[in-house]
Structure 1
Amino acid sequence: MFKIQELREIIKLVDASSIDEFVYENDGAKLKLKKNNGVVMEVAVPKKEAAPVVQQTAVAAPAAAEAPKAIEVKTEEKTASVNVNDSSLHKITSPMVGTFYQSPSPDAPAYVKAGDKVSPDTIVCIVEAMKLFNEIEAEIKGEIVEVLVQDGQLVEYGQPLFVVKPE
């Protein structure tokens, strides 16, 4: 059986590579990843172990070659308006690889937006990983200056999600 950390590392490596499909079999367990229309993970375990089949579907970067360039341009425009590298600003980063959600449900308003005041225990977003929805707290008192990712976007471990001006 695969360990969660091993699965996360494999997903990161496949996501960072140029391959579209990855299959790995070991002792009757099978791992299959595809990223042409998103990341799909299937883990099949031999029937004698009586473990469930685990599936994960997450949105990956668009498959079109031009789409990533458009995203990079938007990021550059945002960094031009707010200097994200300013040492007086704090970045709230993702504690895991997963999918970023700005609200608790699609029809609910965002937890926070630019200009909102936050305290250390304020929930700012959800990062979904392996069907677990993890609430991310601000961990600092201040004002949200900018949201750096879009709703439904795949985020990496340590990737900045928000820029906060500490009080």
Structure 2
Amino acid sequence: MSTQDIQQLIDFISQSGLDEVNIETTDLKISVKRYGTASPVAQLSPTTVAPVPAPVPVAAPSVSAPAPAVAASQPSAAPASTSNYVTIKSPMIGTFYRSSSPETPSFVEVGDNVSEGKVVCIIEAMKLFNEIESEVSGRIVKVLVENATPVEYDQPLFLVEPI
């Protein structure tokens, strides 16, 4: 695992909202932990000699800066929602896609009626594409996430007016 791979992993974990991640391969063992609002602490224990501790100090400043911005942007969107709407939320961490490929139309658009079980989007997680189905019947009022952007667990994706 290269230093750039480790940096990307730490950045992904910091945006995911997870407090602890452990990854172990035959060559490398990585444990990343985050406590409260402090920057995450990463411990690297390579089983083979490799210059991997260097990215840890670099990762801490870049990780701590985006986290408050993400947290600040989410609450501002929540109060704007009306109380009679139902929110379809992300069941996992991954990348949100509105359609199955760039050439195909979106699964749903604002104003479309959806029924319970209808696919509304896809979330890619670890090279797997997971279809996300509506848990409620109603009309799509608002799409809360831009196409091809990362989403976190339990992040609101759509507002639905139940029927």
User: C-alpha displacement at 1:30, in angstroms?
Assistant: 2.8
Distance 2:29 2:14 in 1: 12
Quote the residue 1:5 is aligned against: none
Quote the residue 2:26 is aligned against: 28
Match of 1:83 among 63, 67, 80: 80
Contact 2:114 2:137 (C-alpha < 8 Å) held by counterparts:
yes
Quote the residue 2:141 is aligned against: 145
Quote the residue 2:159 is aligned against: 163
User: C-alpha displacement at 1:111, in angstroms?
Assistant: 0.5
Distance 1:98 1:164 in 2: 22
- TM-score when normalising by structure 1: 0.57
Structure 2: gaps (5+ residues): 1-9, 31-46, 48-64
Quote the residue 1:14 is aligned against: 14
Contact 2:16 2:153 (C-alpha < 8 Å) held by counterparts:
no
User: C-alpha displacement at 1:88, in angstroms?
Assistant: 1.1
Distance 1:140 1:159 in 2: 17
Match of 2:103 among 103, 107, 132: 107
SS at match of 1:126: strand
> Aligned partner of 1:138: which letter?
S
User: C-alpha displacement at 1:31, in angstroms?
Assistant: 6.5
- TM-score when normalising by structure 2: 0.58
Does residue 98 in structure 1 map to residue 90 in structure 2? no
Change (3 A) 1:147 1:31: farther
User: C-alpha displacement at 1:25, in angstroms?
Assistant: 7.6
> Aligned partner of 2:111: which letter?
G
> Aligned partner of 1:14: which letter?
S
User: C-alpha displacement at 1:113, in angstroms?
Assistant: 1.0
Structure 1: gaps (5+ residues): 1-9, 18-23, 33-45, 47-64
User: C-alpha displacement at 1:14, in angstroms?
Assistant: 3.0
CA RMSD of aligned residues (A): 3.9
> Aligned partner of 2:117: which letter?
D
Quote the residue 1:129 is aligned against: 125
Identity of aligned residues (%): 46
